[in-house]
């Protein structure tokens, strides 16, 4: 068996960020991934550092919208009939997490995680040579009615209480920030402190290059099981390979719960299947990210094109993609941005790992403190990657933690 100090399972943005942070503490780090860097959700997300999204997805507001959305198989939230029975226990947990007291608890935890992640971000980008990829172009959320706008105000009040700056706008104000919006949108809210990355896949690949350039190793392999052994953790991979590590970090995205299960831990991770279409860069004169909250998707300007994507399909890991969802979002985007050119796009579907209370899992396995979990960030993997990396590095080295991680405990379920 080959001895390693730290093995991190997963070469997405969270796993690679954690690997870089751990290596910066002097640890010998190897990353193992079933496909290689940036092969999953890190490649196709909207590219946003959504630090202002302090409100959990599990909330009374979503419960009010869900019945209407679920009636539309191509709408913002859908459950394929073939997966409905399997996801029922997760949906029950999600429903329980929408209770006001639980939402308040999750909001406090989410806010602390956002604050940490934002404070860590620019230093991490400087360390990895990726700071030029950071953009500060803001986000514009748009509303089609006074009722929709008024329903959003409680969320903005919560953000205001935390010091998050924003401006409510009328059509003229929206047009100054983003010309070309359909007149159907009568109100908007602009958040200037919304960051994004030039392209999430290129960013994740740049992290991989930085990690390798500092002596880190990235190996391709599928981890089948973890087993505590004296002085470490045995890692069983497909093909009969075995490795032994002093410490292991499980950050394998939507596949993480399968690995945790080999340690006897059942973590209720589900898969939000996200869809998008990336159009050529000249498809629209996009000046800020636009969120069409009533329809569950965003339009983002990347260095590689205009990305139209989002929505939630709770369909697991095995069902084939339903790219009619991408088509439906693109059709809506064309009606919302009449000047949008919809030809020449590339479609994508990826798995976003989500827990029912909208918080990630960060902490030690029940079976052994030598295994750490860092997964389940849902829509916020890129956003919380630098903060998660800091926490993982602190846990690996026994350093004081900058926040209370009890709300993220793997054993909270």
pTM here? 0.94
All residues at 6 or more sequence positions from 30 whose CB lies less than 8 Å from its CB, including other chains: 4, 6, 7, 8, 216, 217, 218, 219, 245
Which pLDDT score is estimated for 56? 86
CA–CA–CA angle 83, 253, 235 (5° rounding)? 110
Instruction: Report the candidate in 52, 114, 40 with the shortest Cα–Cα distance to residue 293.
Output: 52
Q: Which two tokens stand for residue 185?
A: 């949108």
Q: DSSP 3-state assignment of 301?
A: strand
What pLDDT is attached to residue 273? 92
Contact 204, 350 (CB under 8 A): no
> In angstroms, rounded to a whole number, what is the distance separating the alpha carbons of residues 53 and 381?
12
pLDDT at 71 (0 to 100): 65
Q: State the pLDDT at residue 65.
A: 75
DSSP 8-state code for residue 377: B
At 266 the pLDDT is 96
First to last CA, the chain: 35
Tens digit of pLDDT at every position of the chain (413 positions) = 344 599 999 999 999 999 999 999 999 999 999 999 999 889 999 999 999 999 888 877 777 777 777 767 788 888 888 898 999 999 999 999 999 999 999 999 999 999 999 999 999 999 999 999 999 999 999 999 999 999 999 999 999 998 999 999 999 999 999 999 999 999 999 999 899 999 999 999 999 999 999 999 999 999 999 999 999 999 999 999 999 999 999 999 999 999 999 999 999 999 999 999 999 999 999 999 999 999 999 999 999 999 999 888 999 999 999 999 999 999 999 999 999 999 999 999 999 999 999 999 999 999 999 999 999 999 899 999 999 999 999 999 999 999 999 999 999 99
Q: Distances in Å between the alpha carbon of 47 and those of 133, 239, 241, 389?
A: 11, 35, 35, 18
- Cβ within 8 Å of residue 235, ≥6 positions away: 7, 9, 32, 223, 225, 226, 242, 243, 244, 245, 248
* pLDDT for residue 2: 41
**Domains of the chain and CATH, by start:** 1-59+98-136+195-269+355-413 (3.50.50.60)
**pLDDT of amino acid 362:** 98
């Amino acid at each position: 068996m080959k001895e390693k100090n730290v093995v991190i399972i997963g070469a997405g943005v969270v796993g690679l960020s954690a690997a870089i942070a751990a290596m910066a503490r002097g640890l010998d780090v190897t990353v193992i991934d079933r496909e290689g860097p940036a092969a999953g959700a890190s490649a196709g997300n909207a590219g946003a550092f959504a630090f202002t999204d302090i409100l959990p997805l599990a909330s009374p507001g979503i419960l009010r919208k869900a019945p209407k959305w679920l009636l539309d198989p191509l709408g913002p939230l859908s459950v394929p009939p073939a997966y409905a029975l399997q996801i029922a226990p997760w949906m029950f947990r999600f429903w329980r997490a929408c209770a006001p007291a639980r939402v308040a608890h999750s909001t406090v935890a989410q806010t602390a995680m956002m604050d940490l992640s934002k404070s860590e971000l620019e230093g991490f980008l400087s360390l990895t040579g990726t700071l030029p990829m950071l953009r500060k172009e803001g986000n514009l959320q748009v509303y089609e009615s006074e009722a929709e706008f008024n329903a959003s105000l409680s969320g903005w009040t919560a953000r205001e209480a935390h010091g998050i700056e924003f401006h409510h706008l009328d059509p003229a104000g929206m047009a100054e920030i983003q010309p070309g919006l359909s007149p159907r949108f009568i109100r908007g809210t602009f958040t200037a402190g919304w960051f994004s990355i030039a392209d999430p896949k290129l960013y994740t690949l740049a992290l991989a290059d930085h990690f390798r350039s500092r002596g880190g190793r990235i190996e391709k392999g599928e981890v089948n099981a973890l087993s505590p052994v004296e002085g470490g953790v045995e890692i069983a991979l497909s093909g009969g390979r075995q490795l032994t590590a002093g410490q292991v970090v499980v950050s394998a995205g939507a596949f993480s719960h399968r690995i945790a299960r080999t340690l006897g831990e059942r973590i209720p991770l589900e898969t939000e299947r996200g869809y998008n279409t990336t159009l050529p860069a000249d498809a629209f004169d996009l000046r800020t990210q636009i969120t069409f909250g009533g329809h569950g998707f965003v339009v983002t300007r990347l260095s590689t094109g205009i990305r139209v994507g989002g929505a939630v399909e709770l369909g697991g890991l095995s069902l084939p993609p339903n790219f009619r969802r991408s088509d439906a979002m693109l059709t809506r985007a064309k009606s919302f941005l009449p000047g949008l050119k919809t030809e020449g796009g590339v479609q994508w579907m990826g798995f976003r790992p989500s827990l029912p209370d909208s918080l990630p899992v960060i902490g030690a396995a029940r079976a052994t403190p030598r295994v750490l979990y860092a997964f389940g960030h849902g829509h916020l993997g890129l956003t919380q990657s630098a903060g998660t990396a800091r926490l993982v590095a602190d846990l690996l080295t026994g350093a004081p933690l900058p926040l209370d991680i009890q709300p993220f405990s793997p054993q909270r379920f």
